[in-house]
A and B are shown apart, each in its own frame.
Chain A
Amino acid sequence: MSPLKISWKSLWSKPLSSALNMLLIAFGTGILTILLLASNQIAQKLDNNSKDIDLVVGAKGSPLQLILSSIYYIDFPTGNIPLKEATALSRSPFVKRAVPLALGDNYNGTRIVGTDSNFVAIYKLKVQTGKLWTKDFETTIGASVAESQKLKVGDTFYGAHGLTGSSDVHKSHQYTVSGILAPQGNVTDNLILTNIASVWKMHDDHEEGEAHEHKEGENHHKEEHGDEGKELTSLLIQYRSPMSVAIFPRMVNETTNMQAASPAQESTRLFSLIGVGVETLQWFAVLIMLIAAISVFVNLYNSLKERKYDLAIMRTLGASRGKLFLIVIAEGIILTLAGTLIGIALGHLALQFIGNYQESSQARLTGLVFLKDEIYLFVAGLAIGIFAAIIPAVQAYRSNISRILSKN
């Protein structure tokens, strides 16, 4: 009969306190698992969306807001930039590729993005059905849009002004779906792509025909006719060489009326904001683990008092000191290891559950991904088990059996 089996049997003989200890550890590990998976997935999604984009150029304002609006399509744009200046920048020798963006309209909350073929190239988009947009008012829609809005190739819809809400519909022109993109696993799944001219034309008519009053804070294109007055929302830039990092953003910020923002920098800033909350939760989970460790320790220590005689008897039956040490330490390790495993499983389950109830499909979390880092949780569980059991185990090792037996 191995020490492991003896420990196992001993744990089963007091199921309630064993279960309580396991539950505490499972709870702590579960929270850590969720945090680990969620922050990892969010970071990955942030990276995915800005993968090949080195810089965003837009109107002056908050750089974070510029990144949020032009990379993640969350916030309002900072304003507009003149097409002429944007074109000049895209011809700069530092720039390998420049993607123009014209935002301002939505369809049922999904943003309509006026852009050109560079957008397709920079995000490496592939068409699943139909084709990319070619003519004005033709659109290619992301995979999630097609699913959630139930749009097929050939369907038509009207865009509405603003980034959310459909109160202010542009009735003058109708968009047609010419193609649907293959799922990309990034923000493009939730966009409607068209050419820039469509966005301009939509608003030309709009301005003239309806003389509409815009709400403050909304982005819009106040174009006058001709190239002169035409405007874009922003420009996504891919550098020609790493050297550009040092020169190009400064050049934009100092010599033009526009601002340059780095997605990598701003994402890091954004993530550090979320990080405060994550850190708090992490400490909370660590605290729970600590309490669990103490609870396992108290449990083993108390049961050792009851079992002193049992252990002494084991010695009279021929068990060595080392074996008693093993039996006690194995109990601690079985408890914490089982708790850790249950916790990791619970964490994954919980995250999958959260993902199912998330509204935005943009940042949907999943519990079905396993990370290498979870090994550390496992190691931590093991360490807690050893930590909690070491003192009782040493006591079992050192116990003077003659004294214990004669005290009966």
Chain B
Amino acid sequence: MISLKSVSHSYAGQKDIGFSDWQINDGEQWLLLGESGSGKTTLLHILTGILKPKQGEVQINNTSIYGLSAKDLDQFRGRNIGIIFQRPHLIKSLSISENLVLAQSFAKLPTDLKRVNEVLESLGIEGRKNAYPDELSQGQLQRVSIARAVINKPALLIADEPTSSLDDKNAATVLELLMQQSGANQATLVVATHDKRVKDAFTNTYELS
């Protein structure tokens, strides 16, 4: 269970952005809607433990994440939160499977190549596991970034504009994969977007004003 309680944040010299409380139950799939500039990215960063809010509390599975030490928070994030960015951003000097192993080792989990294969297979890219990011197409890269986000079976899967740079067909596929992967890994899914193509797939919506 994830909860957001009386969180607000302000950047230096700007006025406060307040966020209404939010409770997400295990396994739910949510859509986070908001125009650009409405604080969407800020909220996502707060949810993922990247940005400490000025006020308020974020709990993930009964852990108040900003009560953790910096190092513990990094590790908690690595194990419990999977993030998918608008662009895939893989480490160019490492092969696809090495990128996934990297995610395991940064979370201080043992290297599990079986899991790597399993995840790549479920996303239909097991054939490219020894390729380097430069050799893959945009669509394939986005799949790898989903694979990297779910490799450690996180409790929370967060996607930031995962479809906005993709065409209709790929956008639909990625959305489908996100839903499918969050289901398969029993992860709670939050998709932040302003992409209208995505809206229909979700019943739960958190809207920023």
A residues with a Cβ closer than 8 A to B are 1-2, 6, 9-10, 12-13, 309-310, 313-323, 401-402, 405-406, 408
Q: A317-B148, A402-B50, A406-B45 are in contact. Are A12 and B77 (CB under 8 A)?
A: no
A-B contacts, 5 of them at CB < 8 A, read A314-B91, A317-B77, A317-B107, A318-B77, A406-B42
Q: A318-B78, A405-B45 are in contact. Are A13 and B85 (CB under 8 A)?
A: no
Q: Which of A2, A310, A402 contacts B91 (CB 8 A)?
A: A310
Q: A6-B102, A310-B91 are in contact. Are A317 and B86 (CB under 8 A)?
A: no
Interface membership of B143, Cβ < 8 A: no
Contact call A401/B50, Cβ cutoff below 8 A: yes
Would you give the shortest CB distance from A312 to chain B, in whole angstroms? 9
Q: A319-B74, A408-B85 are in contact. Are A9 and B94 (CB under 8 A)?
A: yes
Task: Give Cα A230 to B175, complex, Å.
Answer: 111
Most buried by B among A1, A12, A321, A401: A1
Contact call A317/B102, Cβ cutoff below 8 A: yes
Other A-B pairs, 6, CB within 8 Å; known A9-B93, A13-B92, A317-B103: A1-B101, A310-B92, A316-B77, A318-B107, A321-B71, A408-B85
Would you give the shortest CB distance from B19 to chain A, in whole angstroms? 15
Chain A: CB-nearest residue to B95: A9
Cβ–Cβ < 8 Å partners of B89 in chain A: 309-310, 313
Cβ–Cβ < 8 Å partners of B101 in chain A: 1
Contact call B78/A317, Cβ cutoff below 8 A: yes
Q: Which of A2, A12, A320 contacts B74 (CB 8 A)?
A: A320
Interface membership of B87, Cβ < 8 A: yes
Tell me whether chain A's interface is mostly helix, strand or loop, or mixed. Answer: helix
Cβ–Cβ < 8 Å partners of A314 in chain B: 91, 102, 106
B residues with a Cβ closer than 8 A to A are 41-42, 45, 48, 50-51, 70-71, 74-79, 81, 83, 85-87, 89, 91-94, 98, 101-103, 105-108, 111, 148
Cβ–Cβ < 8 Å partners of A405 in chain B: 41, 45, 50, 85
Contact call A408/B45, Cβ cutoff below 8 A: no
Contact call B93/A402, Cβ cutoff below 8 A: no
Task: Give Cα A318 to B76, complex, Å.
Answer: 7
Cβ–Cβ < 8 Å partners of B77 in chain A: 316-318
Chain A: CB-nearest residue to B145: A313
A-B contact count (CB 8 A): 77
The 4 closest A-B pairs by CB, nearest first: A318-B78, A13-B93, A402-B51, A318-B106
Chain B: CB-nearest residue to A316: B83
Q: A314-B106, A318-B106, A405-B50 are in contact. Are A10 and B75 (CB under 8 A)?
A: no
Cβ–Cβ < 8 Å partners of B86 in chain A: 408
Q: Which of B70, B87, B98, B148 contacts A408 (CB 8 A)?
A: B87
Would you give the shortest CB distance from B72 to chain A, in whole angstroms? 9
Cβ–Cβ < 8 Å partners of A316 in chain B: 48, 50, 77, 81, 83
Cβ–Cβ < 8 Å partners of A13 in chain B: 92-93
Task: Give Cα A13 to B92, complex, Å.
Answer: 8
Contact call B102/A1, Cβ cutoff below 8 A: yes
Contact call A1/B98, Cβ cutoff below 8 A: yes
Contact call B71/A322, Cβ cutoff below 8 A: yes
Would you give the shortest CB distance from B145 to chain A, in whole angstroms? 9
Task: Give Cα A318 to B51, complex, Å.
Answer: 14
Cβ–Cβ < 8 Å partners of A323 in chain B: 106
Contact call B93/A320, Cβ cutoff below 8 A: no
Contact call A402/B75, Cβ cutoff below 8 A: no
Q: A6-B102, A402-B51 are in contact. Are A320 and B71 (CB under 8 A)?
A: yes
Cβ–Cβ < 8 Å partners of B108 in chain A: 318
Cβ–Cβ < 8 Å partners of A12 in chain B: 93
Would you give the shortest CB distance from A327 to chain B, in whole angstroms? 11
Task: Give Cα A310 to B92, complex, Å.
Answer: 9
Task: Give Cα A315 to B70, complex, Å.
Answer: 11
Would you give the shortest CB distance from B22 to chain A, in whole angstroms? 19
Cβ–Cβ < 8 Å partners of B105 in chain A: 1-2
Task: Give Cα A296 to B1, complex, Å.
Answer: 48
Task: Give Cα A12 to B92, complex, Å.
Answer: 11
Cβ–Cβ < 8 Å partners of B111 in chain A: 1
Q: Which of A10, A318, A320, A402 contacts B45 (CB 8 A)?
A: A402
Task: Give Cα A84 to B14, complex, Å.
Answer: 105
Would you give the shortest CB distance from B12 to chain A, in whole angstroms? 11
Chain A: CB-nearest residue to B158: A316
Task: Give Cα A13 to B95, complex, Å.
Answer: 11
Chain A: CB-nearest residue to B40: A406
